[in-house]
Amino acid sequence: MEDYASSDEDYHYDSDQDDSVEAYENDEDYALLSSKGPTTKVITKESLLVAQKEDLRRVMEMLSVREQHARTLLIYHRWDVEKLFAVYVDKGKAFLFGEAGVSVDQHPDSDSSVPSTVMCYICMEDVARVETTRMDCGHCFCNSCWIEHFIVKINEGQSKRIRCMQHKCNSICDEAVVRTLLSRKHPGMAEKYERFLLESYIEDNKRVKWCPSTPHCGNAIRVEDDELCEVECSCGLQFCFRCLSEAHSPCSCLMWELWAKKCRDESETVNWITVHTKPCPKCHKPVEKNGGCNLVSCICGQAFCWLCGGATGREHTWSSIAGHSCGRYKEQEKSAERAKRDLYRYMHYHNRYKAHTDSFKIESKLKETIQGKIAISEEKDSTLRDYSWVNNGLSRLFRSRRVLSYSYAFAFYMFGDELFKEEMTDAQREIKQNLFEDQQQQLEANVEKLSKILEEPFETFSDDKVVEIRMQILTLSTIIDKLCQKMYECIENDLLGSLHLGIHSIAPYKSKGIERASELSVCWNNKVNTGVTAELDRPSGSGSSDDNGCSSRKRARKDGLGGGFFDLNLPAEFIDRN
C-alpha cells in the first residue's frame, strides 16, 4: 500500500500530455480510499486473547453471563456469535444453556447442618467437606478425584469441554474451578488447559485459521466475512484461506488440488516415456516411435512390434505384421493414442503454466536490479524525483504473472474432460474456450510488453524519454489490471457461473494484490517469567471499548492461585479490588 501513498506528490513536471496518466493514478487512489483497508487480521500468540475478547464480551452482555459461561457457549457454537444468538432467540435461554452444558443455577453449598465429612462417590472415601468441590450443576466430589478427572480429560485433548463426573450429567466444568484446582499441584497441566482453551478460538472457528507456514510462524489469520479469499500473513506467506495451499486464483481450490497433484505425480513423465519409447528386443536401447504404423525399427537394424515389444520381420501392412500376431493391435492402438493425446494436452498447459512461473522467479531478481537503477536515477541532476511508478509497474507485473500462470491450470480443467465433461456440449465448450483464450492472449501480450519495458535501462535515458517510458508503464499497468479483472469476471460469470456444480468458486480479484492481513491492535505486556504468554491490560467484562484500550493499568494476578499462571476470567471488579 505504501507504494501508492506518495502518488499525489509527484506532479511537479509538466503535464499536458500527462493528463491521462494522472487520471490513472487518481483511479488507483480512489480505489484505495473506497476500500475499507484490510479486513483480515493476523492473530499472534500475544493477541490471541484480545482477539476473542470482543466475541466473549458480546455474549456476556447479551446474556448477562460470566466469561467462562460465554466461552463454553461460544466453543459449543464454534465461535459463531450470530448462530448462538439465533438459537437464543428461537429456542430460549434454557435450551441454549442446556445444550451447551452451562449450568448457572446456584446450589447452596455450605449448610451448617450438614456433617463436616462427606462420602465421595468416586473414590468411595469419606472426605472433609472443605476438600470437596461442588460444580454449578450441583454434583459434588472430592478435589483429588476432580483433579484426576481433569488431567485424564486434558490428556485426551478434551480441555475445551470437560464434562462433570456424574453419569449422564451434561454440564461443562467451570473453567475457573478447573484452573484453581489444577494450579496447586499441576501447574503444567493448568497451562496446557489454558492453551487449549485459548486456541479453541482458532481450532473451532471457521473464520480463523492457522497460517500454514513451515516452520510455523505462530500466527493465525482471521477473515471478516468471506472465507473465500487469499491473504498474506505477517510472516510473508501468501495463501488461499479456504484450502490453505498457495494462493491459486483464478483456479478453484479443487482444480488447484488436482493440478498440484498432477504436477507432483511423476507418473506423467513415466507415462511420457512409455508412450514415446520402447526398448529394442535385441540391444535394449530405447526406441522412439515416430508416428505411423506399429512396426518400429531400432538403429541396430532390429524391427519390432510397438505394441508388444516382440521382435518381428520387416514385412507389414498398416494393421498387421507378417508372421506376427499379438492380438492387441487394434485396441491398444486406440488407448495408446488416447493416452498420448491426454499427455500432449497436459504438456501444452503445463509448459505455459511453468513458463510464467519461471518468468516470475526470474523477474523477482529484477527487483534488485531496478532498485539499483532507481538509485542511479535519483542521483542524476533531473527534475524527475519520484520513481515509485517503476516499483508499481514491477508489482503489477508480478501480480499478473501469477494470474497468468494459474489461468493455465484453470483452463486445463475448465476445458478438459476430467471435471465438466457432462456439463457442456462440445460446441458450448468451444465457444467458452475461445472466449477465454482470447482474453488470456491479450493479457499475455501486454504482460510480456510490460516485462520488456521494465528491463530498459531508463537510468541512462534523457528526461523526455523517462517521461515517455513512465507513461507507457502506467498505461500498460492500467490495461493489465483491467484485463485481469475482466478475466476473473469472465471465469466467475461466464465459465463457472453457468455450471451446475456449485463446488467451484474462486477468490475475488484484488487489484492491489493479495491483501496483507493487519496486526490486531493489542496492548499487551509479555511476561516471560509467568510461564504464560501474556497478561491483559484491559479489564474484561467492563464493556468499555475506549479506542484501543491502552490503559496503563496492569491486571493483577490472583495470588491465591499460587501457581505461575494467570486467570483469564477474573471479573473486572475483582481486579479493581486488588
Partner 1 sequence: MIDFARVQKELVECSKDSEGSGIKVSPKSDDLVQLFGTIPGPVGTPYEGGIFQIDITLPEGYPFEPPKMQFKTKVWHPNISSQSGAICLDILKDQWSPALTLKTALLSVQALLSAPQPDDPQDAVVAQQYLKDYQTFVSTARYWTESFAKASTRGIEDKVQKLVEMGFPEAQVRNILEAVGGDENLALERLL
Catalytic residues, by residue number, are 293
Strands in 172-288 per DSSP E: 208-210, 220-222, 230-232, 238-240, 277-279, 286-288
- Of 192 and 289, nearer to partner 1 (C-beta) is 192
Question: Which residues contact Zn ion by CB under 5 A?
Answer: 120, 122-123, 137, 139, 142, 145, 164, 166, 169, 171, 211, 213, 217, 219, 233, 235, 237, 240, 242-243, 253, 280, 282-283, 293, 298, 300, 302, 305, 307-308, 326
Shortest distance in whole angstroms from residue 204 CB to Zn ion: 20
∠ Cα 412 414 417 (to 5°) = 80
CB under 5 to 8 A by kind: which of partner 1, Zn ion, none does 149 bind? partner 1
Shortest distance in whole angstroms from residue 145 CB to partner 1: 7
Lay out the site mask for partner 1 across 264-303 (x = CB under 8 A, - = otherwise). Answer: ----------------------------------------
Shortest distance in whole angstroms from residue 261 CB to Zn ion: 14
Establish if 261 lies at the interface with partner 1 (CB under 8 A).
no
Shortest distance in whole angstroms from residue 136 CB to partner 1: 17
Shortest distance in whole angstroms from residue 186 CB to partner 1: 14
Q: Which of residues 132-161 bind partner 1 (CB under 8 A)?
A: 145, 148-149, 151-152
> Rounded CA gap, 280 and 298, in Å?
6
- Of 122 and 471, nearer to Zn ion (C-beta) is 122
Grid coordinates given for 194: 489454558
Establish if 169 lies at the interface with partner 1 (CB under 8 A).
yes
Residue 268 is inside which H or E element, if any? Answer: helix 267-276
> Rounded CA gap, 62 and 70, in Å?
10
Helix residue ranges per DSSP H, 415-499: 417-420, 426-454, 463-489
> Rounded CA gap, 150 and 164, in Å?
10
- Of 253 and 390, nearer to Zn ion (C-beta) is 253
Q: CB–CB of 256/265 below 8 Å?
A: no
Shortest distance in whole angstroms from residue 189 CB to partner 1: 13
Q: CB–CB of 304/294 below 8 Å?
A: no
Grid coordinates given for 468: 515517455
Q: Which of residues 19-58 bind partner 1 (CB under 8 A)?
A: none
> Rounded CA gap, 206 and 216, in Å?
20
List Cβ neighbours of 446 (8 Å cut-off, separation of 6 or more).
476, 479, 480, 483
Block residue for cell numbers 456469535: 81
| Angle in degrees, 0-180, between the axes of helices 463-489 and 19-34, rounded to the nearest 10 | 40
Block residue for cell numbers 492473530: 43
Establish if 127 lies at the interface with partner 1 (CB under 8 A).
no
- Of 102 and 142, nearer to partner 1 (C-beta) is 142
Grid coordinates given for 547: 479506542
CB under 5 to 8 A by kind: which of Zn ion, partner 1, none does 217 bind? Zn ion
CB under 5 to 8 A by kind: which of Zn ion, partner 1, none does 211 bind? Zn ion
Long-range Cβ pairs for the range 273-277 (8 Å, 24+): 275/336, 275/339, 275/340, 275/343
- Of 36 and 167, nearer to partner 1 (C-beta) is 167
CB under 5 to 8 A by kind: which of partner 1, Zn ion, none does 572 bind? none
User: Helix (H, G, I), strand (E, B), or coil: what is residue 278?
Assistant: strand
Shortest distance in whole angstroms from residue 123 CB to partner 1: 5
Shortest distance in whole angstroms from residue 335 CB to Zn ion: 15
> Rounded CA gap, 7 and 31, in Å?
13
Establish if 123 lies at the interface with partner 1 (CB under 8 A).
yes
Establish if 165 lies at the interface with partner 1 (CB under 8 A).
yes
Establish if 122 lies at the interface with partner 1 (CB under 8 A).
yes
- Of 157 and 560, nearer to partner 1 (C-beta) is 157
Q: Of residues 22, 29, 125, 246, which one binds partner 1 by CB under 8 A?
A: 125
Q: Of residues 117, 166, 357, 395, which one binds partner 1 by CB under 8 A?
A: 166
Cis peptide before 215 (omega within 30 of 0): yes
Residue type, 576: D
* Furthest CA-CA distance within the chain: 112
Establish if 501 lies at the interface with partner 1 (CB under 8 A).
no
> Rounded CA gap, 407 and 232, in Å?
20
Grid coordinates given for 475: 498505461
Establish if 243 lies at the interface with partner 1 (CB under 8 A).
no
Lay out the site mask for partner 1 across 417-456 (x = CB under 8 A, - = otherwise). Answer: ----------------------------------------
Instruction: Note the residues at the interface with partner 1 (CB under 8 A).
Output: 121-125, 145, 148-149, 151-152, 165-169
